[in-house]
Structure 1
Amino acid sequence: MAVLNVSRPTVYTWFNRWERGGLAGLANAAGQGRRPILGAADEAPVVAAVRANRQQLKEVAVTLRQELAKDFSARTLRRFLKSVAGAGGASATP
């Protein structure tokens, strides 16, 4: 506990996961964490909107919020574009 600076329940949780599944049991299960606001299905319209107005991401975010009916910030849009570029897809360069 002291070495990793975690609580006693966390250590017990890790130990129980180790007992049930070994090293693989310590990995986070699918579905844990927050769901992304923008996903793979949104990639094409987002990239097209950014290509149309590259210098004004805040304006692009406003337009996309209306088109996609999703609430997100310009910062979320920027992170999504970085993830698309990092994936190396064909549409990676806005």
Structure 2
Amino acid sequence: MLGLQRQTVYSWFARWESAGLAGLANAKGQGRPAILTAADTAQVQAAVQANRQQLQDVTASLRQELDRQFSPLTLKRFLKSVVANGDFRPGWNSIPHPVSNLKSSD
């Protein structure tokens, strides 16, 4: 049935009967624990500041620092999530833009 295990459907039905629609929502803590957490933000920010252009190099240095294995894609997802939350300012605005530094010739 729909490519689902019978037990999954029975579990959903039991949750629906006991708690209604709210019972079908995912509970906090379900899913795989995050490899990179909010506690790692400062170290990630320092590594990105040191080498902004090479995600592979940043990943390699953080693997050693944090003693955890993760892929560049995991780091990329983490960076997107913390930037979206406003928890991370990689310093892109600190790079002077060549046009903004031009003096007007008035």
Instruction: Tell me the TM-score range normalised by the shorter chain.
Output: 0.7 to 0.9
Per the alignment, residue 47 of structure 1 pairs with: 45
Q: How many pairs are equivalent?
A: 90
Per the alignment, residue 70 of structure 2 pairs with: 72
Per the alignment, residue 31 of structure 2 pairs with: 33
> Scaled by the length of structure 1, what TM-score is found?
0.83
Letter in 1 for 2:36: L
The separation in 1 between residues aligned to 2:18 and 2:62, in whole angstroms, is: 45
> Scaled by the length of structure 2, what TM-score is found?
0.75
Question: How far does residue 33 in structure 1 lie from its aligned partner after superposition?
Answer: 0.7
User: Secondary structure of the equivalent of 2:18?
Assistant: helix
Larger deviation: 66-75 or 8-17? Answer: 8-17
The answer (yes or no) to whether the contact 1:86–1:92 under 8 Å persists in 2 is: no
Question: How far does residue 7 in structure 1 lie from its aligned partner after superposition?
Answer: 4.4
Identical aligned residues as a percent: 61
The separation in 2 between residues aligned to 1:14 and 1:38, in whole angstroms, is: 31
The answer (yes or no) to whether the contact 2:48–2:90 under 8 Å persists in 1 is: no
C-alpha RMSD of matched pairs (Å): 1.6
Letter in 2 for 1:22: G
